[in-house]
């Protein structure tokens, strides 16, 4: 950070880091404004504070030696540019947070956010030799940096995000033009398995309305006019009709109709809001913790049974693939009947015991005193037999499957879950083998985070990459030996004597010093060819003025 200043632009979804040189940072000041040394130092401190906020973690170590991690990844489009023809073969690569700064800091990067079980590709054959890893130790030279052509992790999995394409609409993500929130799928299936590989989704694409459903629904008047003129219905009108009409299909399949029937705001109101509204059928953000997209659900259809179960919301169907009302009603009826039969079986033993006790009590009341003892003994023996049978059945029976009797809904659907959904997943002998390959379903994942960067108040300030430039300069002066310190002070005084007349003329005239003035003066001090030529031109100009009588 000693030679560059870093400005951060954050939009909630991604951080775009723009690096500018110190000379550019200084020259960007307006020429009409004067700045003192204190102002310049404060501006640099503010830039470094902004950079520290944008890059809060240390970036001294590559994560490749740590093995598989769920970590923040970046794809370098400079080293691995996507082909212009989508049919051409593409070799993606992902680098860790530290390598994105130290090894690819001046490249075009795409932030992919967290991906699980990934090993950093920096310094491997997935990236060109011209972009080696500068953080790891080169085994050939036993020095840090210059690592390239190592073998990458064979089990790394890649999806379209590494080409800067996101969502089912395969859009190129641009943080400056994208509006609204995108949601990351929990990811059950990899791209090779037909899943999404932890992709990010537009809410409109999840429910089948597309990423620009708000803009499309705002053209109601134009679409109606064109329809009345006898033209064919446009795709916009079809999607618009699906949005405006109450959805009977979703009603039958447990979709939130309260959200479904909400009137769309007019275009004028949408323009005033920073984030567009959520599409009809998409749950409120406060109602769920995460979701599994329809691609991953189709890759692992056994998960459909949990739609509407404890810890899960009802199914959110993709509109173009939602089942018909009859199919949904049939599935709902089957589920209700099955649930009723299942619950009646569970109460069977208790009901039999209560019925026997009740009938015995009636017989006791109606019988004579001589039959009381016989009836009581009979009831006691029968109750004992029933209790013994129930106990034997319970002890010998295997754990009951939570979803065995549930009929899975049909059609393409996304599954939204709450924070405690893992507690409600069935772990019986039949269901556990389905869960075992997906360890993130069994227990919550831990995201790897590097150590936090030291702040302005860090002790010492001599650690590379920590503290401000001013603090590190003071620390360096404290560690310099006495002779070199005296030489430095003498050099500083000499420079001050050279600069004092230059600054004096601006102070007397009241004119502000511009970056161009300073550059020209230092060029003259260094004896640059340009500076010397300018000095000669100035002398000639003065001579001409003297000759002409000025």
pLDDT one-digit tens code per residue, 233-246: 333 343 444 444 44
CA-based R_g, the chain, Å: 36
Rounded (10°) angle between helices 515-526 and 529-547:
100
pLDDT in tens, 48-97: 777 777 778 888 999 999 999 999 999 999 999 999 888 888 999 999 99
* Residue with the larger pLDDT of the pair 150 and 515: 150
Residues found in the chain: 550
pLDDT at 227: 36
SS (H, E, C) 239-263: HHHHHHCCCHHHHHCCCCHHHHCCC
d(CA 58, CA 1) in angstroms, rounded, equals: 12
According to the model, what pLDDT value does residue 37 have? 66
Least confident of 267-276, 401-410, 461-470: 461-470
Q: Is the pLDDT of residue 316 over 80?
A: yes
Long-range contacts of 64-68 (CB under 8 A, 24+ apart): 64/96, 64/119, 64/120, 64/122, 64/123, 64/133, 64/136, 65/136, 66/448, 67/119, 68/117, 68/118, 68/119, 68/153, 68/155
User: What's the CA gap between 346 and 400, in Å, rounded?
Assistant: 11
pLDDT in tens, 138-187: 998 899 999 999 999 999 999 999 999 999 999 998 877 888 899 999 99
What pLDDT is recorded for position 489?
A: 78
pLDDT digits (tens, 9 = 90+) for 193-208: 899 999 999 999 999 9
Express each pLDDT in 407-438 by its tens digit.
899 999 999 999 999 999 999 999 999 999 99
| Average pLDDT score, the chain | 73
Q: Please report, rounded to a whole number, the percentage of residues in the chain having pLDDT higher than 70.
A: 59
Residue 392 φ then ψ, to 5°: -65, -40
Of 19-23, 426-430, 463-467, where does mean pLDDT reach its minimum? 19-23
**Per-residue model confidence (pLDDT) at position 538:** 61
Contacts 24+ apart (CB under 8 A), 435-438: 438/188
Contact criterion met (CB below 8 Å) for 144 and 135 = yes
Residues 34-40, mean pLDDT to the nearest whole number: 67
What pLDDT does residue 150 have? Answer: 95
Whether residue 519 is predicted with pLDDT greater than 50 in this model: the reply is: yes
**What's the rounded mean pLDDT across residues 6-23?**
39
Q: What is the pLDDT of residue 25?
A: 41
Tell me the mean pLDDT in the region 304-314: 95
Asked if the model's pLDDT at residue 1 lies above 60, the reply is: no
pLDDT band at residue 477 using 50, 70 and 90 as cut-offs: low
User: What Cα–Cα distance (Å) separates residue 434 from each residue in 128, 427, 428, 430?
Assistant: 40, 9, 10, 8
This prediction's pTM: 0.58
Of 493 and 109, which is predicted with more confidence? 109
Q: Which residue has the higher pLDDT, 368 or 230?
A: 368
Contact 133, 60 (CB under 8 A): no
pLDDT tens by residue, 215-238: 877 644 333 333 344 333 333 343
> Which phi and psi angles does 316 have, rounded to 5°?
-110, 105
CA distance 468 to 462: 10
pLDDT of residue 207: 95
Give yes or no for residue 271 having a pLDDT over 70: no
What is the mean predicted confidence (pLDDT) over 437-464? Answer: 73
- Secondary structure letter of residue 317 according to DSSP: E
Per the model's pLDDT, the better-predicted residue between 323 and 462 turns out to be 323
- Which residue has better confidence, 41 or 313? 313
529 confidence band (pLDDT: 50, 70, 90): low
What is the predicted pLDDT for the residue at 11? 43
Q: pLDDT-based confidence at 404, cuts 50/70/90? A: confident
Nearest in space to 86 (alpha carbons), one of 4, 200, 163, 193: 163
């Amino acid at each position: 950070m000693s030679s560059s200043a870093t400005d951060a632009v954050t939009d909630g979804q991604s951080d775009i880091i723009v690096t500018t040189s110190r000379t550019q940072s200084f020259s960007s000041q307006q020429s009409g404004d004067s700045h003192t040394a204190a102002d310049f130092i404060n501006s640099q401190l503010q830039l470094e504070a902004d950079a520290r906020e944008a890059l809060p973690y240390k970036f001294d170590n590559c994560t490749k030696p740590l093995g598989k991690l769920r970590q923040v990844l970046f794809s370098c489009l400079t080293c691995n540019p996507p082909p212009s023809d989508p049919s051409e073969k593409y070799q993606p690569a992902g680098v860790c947070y530290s390598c994105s700064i130290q090894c690819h800091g001046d490249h075009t990067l795409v932030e992919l956010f967290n991906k699980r079980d990934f090993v950093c590709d920096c310094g491997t054959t997935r990236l060109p030799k011209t972009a080696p890893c500068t953080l790891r130790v080169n085994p050939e030279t036993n020095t840090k940096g210059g690592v390239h052509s190592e073998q990458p992790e064979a089990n790394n999995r890649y999806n379209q995000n590494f080409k800067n394409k996101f969502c089912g609409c395969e859009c190129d993500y641009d943080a400056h033009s994208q509006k609204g929130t995108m949601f990351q799928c929990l990811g059950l299936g990899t791209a090779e398995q037909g899943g999404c590989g932890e992709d990010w989704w537009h809410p409109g694409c999840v429910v089948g309305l597309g990423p620009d459903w708000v803009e499309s629904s705002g053209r109601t008047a134009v679409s109606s006019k064109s329809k009345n003129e006898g033209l064919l219905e446009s795709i916009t009108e079809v999607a618009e009709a699906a949005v405006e009409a109450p959805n009977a299909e979703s009603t039958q399949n447990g979709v939130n109709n309260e959200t479904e029937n909400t009137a769309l705001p007019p275009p004028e109101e949408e323009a005033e809001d920073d984030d567009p509204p959520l599409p009809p059928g998409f749950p409120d953000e406060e109602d769920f913790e995460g979701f599994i997209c329809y691609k991953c659900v189709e890759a692992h259809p056994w998960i459909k049974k949990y739609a509407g179960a404890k810890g899960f919301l009802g199914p959110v169907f993709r509109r173009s693939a939602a089942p018909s009302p009859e199919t949904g009603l049939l599935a709902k009826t089957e589920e209700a009947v099955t649930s009723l039969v299942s619950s009646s079986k569970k109460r069977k033993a208790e009901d039999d015991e209560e019925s026997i006790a009740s009938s015995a009590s009636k017989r006791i009341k109606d019988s004579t005193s001589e039959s009381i003892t016989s009836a009581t003994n009979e009831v006691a023996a029968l109750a004992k037999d029933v209790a013994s049978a129930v106990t034997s059945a319970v002890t010998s029976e295997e754990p009951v499957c939570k979803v065995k009797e549930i009929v899975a809904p049909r059609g393409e659907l996304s599954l939204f879950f709450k924070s405690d959904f893992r507690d409600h997943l069935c772990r019986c002998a039949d269901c556990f083998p389905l869960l075992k390959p997906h360890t993130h379903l069994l227990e919550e994942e831990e995201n790897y985070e590097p150590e936090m960067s030291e702040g302005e108040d860090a002790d010492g300030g001599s650690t590379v990459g920590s503290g401000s430039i001013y603090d590190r300069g003071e620390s360096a002066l404290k560690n310099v030996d006495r002779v070199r310190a005296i030489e430095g002070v003498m050099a500083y005084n000499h420079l001050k004597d050279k600069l004092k007349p230059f600054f004096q003329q601006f102070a007397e005239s009241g004119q502000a010093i511009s970056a161009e003035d300073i550059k020209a003066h230092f060029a003259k001090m260094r004896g640059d060819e340009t500076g010397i030529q300018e000095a000669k031109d100035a002398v000639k100009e003065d001579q001409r003025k003297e000759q002409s009588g000025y």
